Amino acid sequence: MTETRATKVAIVTETDINIFQDCTELLNEFDVEVLINSNLDASKDAVEYVQNAESEGVGVIVAGYKKGSNFAESLAKVTNIPVIAVPIKQENDKGLDLLSSMLNGEESVPVATVAVNGIKNAALLAVQILSTSCRELREKMKNYKNDLKEMVEERDKLLRQQYEAK
């Protein structure tokens, strides 16, 4: 039996997928294929989807949620694929209850958790996880981080020039 390298990211969310546009765009910049399953009728549908994700070549699952349940944790229980939780802020809530709920998840059910609405960080973490078995992604991540470093250095240089001009 030949094993295929998992290079896809599945976004599984109980909320509007449009919230994940930045995530999908960033993953696309790294040429990572994105599979999407959103607005699920029931957690049962999400569990079934996740159970089949490995056979579809999925290497990381990004789980977005904005209800009080441990949505990402329930998915992590039924797969060996790494799960990244993204708590989504609701209009009248800062999302801190969701974040706390995920951070205090069940022992022996590992879930990586990013900040509330940390959609871009979820994408970057997914790429880093995938890059452990893909040299091409490792190089792309290295270049991405170098570009960020150069951007910060340029901003610092401009700020220093503005300060010194006063």
- Percent over 70 (pLDDT), the chain: 90
pLDDT, residue 3, reads 43
Fold of 8-134: Rossmann fold (3.40.50)
Tell me if 105 sits within 8 A of 111, measured CB to CB. yes
pTM here is: 0.86
Name which residue leads in pLDDT, 61 or 102: 61
Distance CA 141, CA 30 (A): 8
| Per-residue pLDDT reduced to its tens digit, 65-123 | 776 668 888 899 999 999 999 988 877 777 777 777 778 777 888 999 999 889 999 99
**Mean pLDDT of the region 28-44:** 80
Tell me if 95 sits within 8 A of 87, measured CB to CB. yes
Where in the chain are the domains? 8-134
